[in-house]
Amino acid sequence: MESHRVKDWMTKNPITVSSSVTIPDAYWLMINNKIRRLLVVDDGKLVGIVTIEDLRQKIPFTTFAIDAVKASDILSRCPVRQVMSTEPKTTTPDTQLIEAAQFMLEQKISTLPVMEGKQVVGIITEGDFFRAFVELMK
């Protein structure tokens, strides 16, 4: 059986942001690039992941009901570090695809940053596993 590794299916050089990027800027970066997650990197070190779902779940929407202008002002000063998931689980490019998939299932996560040493080199997501499944089943 042919060996399939994370590096064969990951997205290389993913879009990253610093933890000081504002929530609206992160949101629009995801929307404009048609992605649902951003790796958060400070000084070359992976410090977290922020997803579109994080933004939807953790933004205090009750604030909008009270005063939309005030809420917009608050969010424009709120950095992603306040809503990101910290200490993300990671994998390596040479990890077997099945091992990475099993790990994601066990951890109940949808994303793994791909690291070579301390450097982010890619990202693998549930969508990448679906793409691999479809391609490999042909």
DSSP characters over 25-73: HHHHHHHHHT-SEEEEEETTEEEEEEEHHHHHHHS-THHHHH-HHHHHH
Each residue's pLDDT, cut to its tens digit, for the chain (138 residues) gives 456 999 999 999 999 999 999 988 898 899 999 999 999 999 999 999 999 888 777 665 555 555 666 666 666 778 999 889 999 999 999 999 999 999 999 999 999 999 999 999 999 999 999 888 888 888
- State residue 77's pLDDT score: 73
pTM: 0.84
Residue-range domain boundaries for the chain = 6-137
Is domain 6-137 in CATH 3.10.580.10, yes or no? Answer: yes
- State residue 1's pLDDT score: 43
- For tokens 């800027």, the residue is 25
Beta partners for residue 51, in sequence order: 37
* Number of Cβ atoms within 10 Å of the Cβ of 29: 16
